Amino acid sequence: MALTLQAVVLAAVAYVVYRQVTKPKPAAPYPPGPKPFPVIGNIGDLTAKELWLVAATWAKEYGRITYIHVFGQGLVFLNTPEAAFELLDKRGAIYSDKPKLVMAGELCGCENMVAFTPYGDTSRRQRKLMQTALGPSSIKTYHPLLELETKPFLKRLLADPSKYQDHIRRYAGGLTLLVVYGHQVESSDDAFLKLAEECVSLLSNRIASGGGIWPVDIFPSLRHIPDWFPGAGFKRNAAIWKKKMEEFVDKPYEFVQKEMRKGTARPSFVSMLLGNETDGKDDKTDAQMDFDVRWTANSMYSGRLDPTITTISHFVLAMVQHPEVLKRAQAEIDSVTGQNRLPACEDRERLPYCNAIFTETLRWGVPVPLNLPHRLTEDDVYDGMFIPKGSLVFGNIWAILRDEKLYPDPHSFNPERYLEPAADEMAERRRDPRPYVFGFGRRRCPGANLVESSAWLLMVSMIATLDISKAIDEHGREIEPEIVFENAVFRTPNPFQCSIRPRSDHALKVLMQEGA
């Protein structure tokens, strides 16, 4: 049995060698990068943990583009705004496809999620549905829901500050369940919420760990080996994960269908679309609509948890490390609210310093440092460098948002950088982190508007009502927060020690007077 597996692997390696030896000479030199080993390429240069730090060193050494390969599979890192926008935006017609990942897609059952769907008719239909629900013109309709969910979040946070990240997760998950499926979360033990947390963790830390590239993605023939073969543990894991991911897609959707049949469904993304179906459609159209709504809803649901948790966790860390920023922001909010109410979405234009804090949190925190990979569908040449068809192309967001030319002293948290006028309109656009943080071109995150609106409101509500600082030990000494990153895709810090308490008796009174 082991010999059979070994034969499959050797045959796959032989094919890679043959392909590399016989492939035609490129029209131009490849972009620079670390020197590969024969056949295996740069596999030793990759790491499953904080790959963005390694990619940042490549950016400094090799410039605007870095090229490596693993068994002939090209990986391209775009290290400057110019390279990222030129290729992923302007040439989006050939750079908008997604990797055909055997492990994540076929074996784990994620091929129809928006994050994994190849560019084409299905992805366009999905994004159109998401734009309907989450476009700029729709976000204002969610403001009452945002404010409704913010108040209980603050009360839960004050009741148990040590679990601040759990409270953020419940807020993000609960709000999305309400918007997408019309399901209101009543407790942290909510079945749908726990299912989402488990599956999003599987996606980030197991299925998509290390960029989501598994040996079976490089050697697709490995998917045919029997599950009981030595070395086939990935197939056994995938079978377990696939069942869980199917449950994640189907259960909340079937909940809405059941509620609609009973006439008790709350207004939501799913109920709105299913309710708009008209008689006279053929079975094929109905099946396609069911498919699109089911998978788009799940993608909206799964895509909101980690970005919100990451952004707010970095905000908490920034306030712990910069108490002077918190004090100035509190004074600005007080001047708008008179300390007699919580801030609302409509206050945003009158809170420039708070807006600067939010913008700097996006830049400094970098929720997805390497973005999700794009796949090049035909050979291309950029600035005299050849990029082969099939390459996986990453926007190196970490390197861009730590570029000293764009952001002086880039590792420092400094909201004031956005209060100073830029040299010109182009410079102003270039220093805004949103076009980088939320992705590029046709693959830009369609849920960006909801993520930003909800995270912003959560942030200013915390500023208005809380004091956030370093924890104090039994000897009265400040405890420096220990920051550890373990998530392979999202730059989410593990929970760290800090002090979160009511800002004042008056602030606590205002909060408790607000509706539940």
User: What residues form the annotated binding site for heme?
Assistant: 445
CB 68 within 8 A of CB 388: no
Q: Could you tell me the CA-to-CA distances from 149 to 200, 217, 514 in Å, in that order? A: 21, 41, 12
Binding residues: 445
Q: What is the C-alpha to C-alpha distance for residues 172 and 166, in angstroms, rounded to an integer?
A: 10
Per-position DSSP letters for 356-415, written without gaps between them: HHHHHHHHHH-SSTT-PPEE--S-EEETTEEE-TT-EEEE-HHHHHT-TTTSSSTTS--G
CA nearest to 307, candidates 162, 470, 176: 176
Helix (H, G, I), strand (E, B) or coil at 131: helix
Task: Indicate the pairing of strand 499-502 with strand 466-469.
Answer: antiparallel
Per-position DSSP letters for 132-176, written without gaps between them: HHHSHHHHGGGHHHHHHHHHHHHHHHHH-GGGHHHHHHHHHHHHH
Phi/psi of residue 232, nearest 5 degrees: -95, 20
Q: Which residues lie below 8 Å from residue 263, measured CB to CB, with a gap of 6+?
A: none
CB 335 within 8 A of CB 407: no
Phi/psi of residue 375, nearest 5 degrees: -120, 125
Q: Which residues lie below 8 Å from residue 88, measured CB to CB, with a gap of 6+?
A: 78, 95, 96, 374, 393, 395, 440, 441, 443
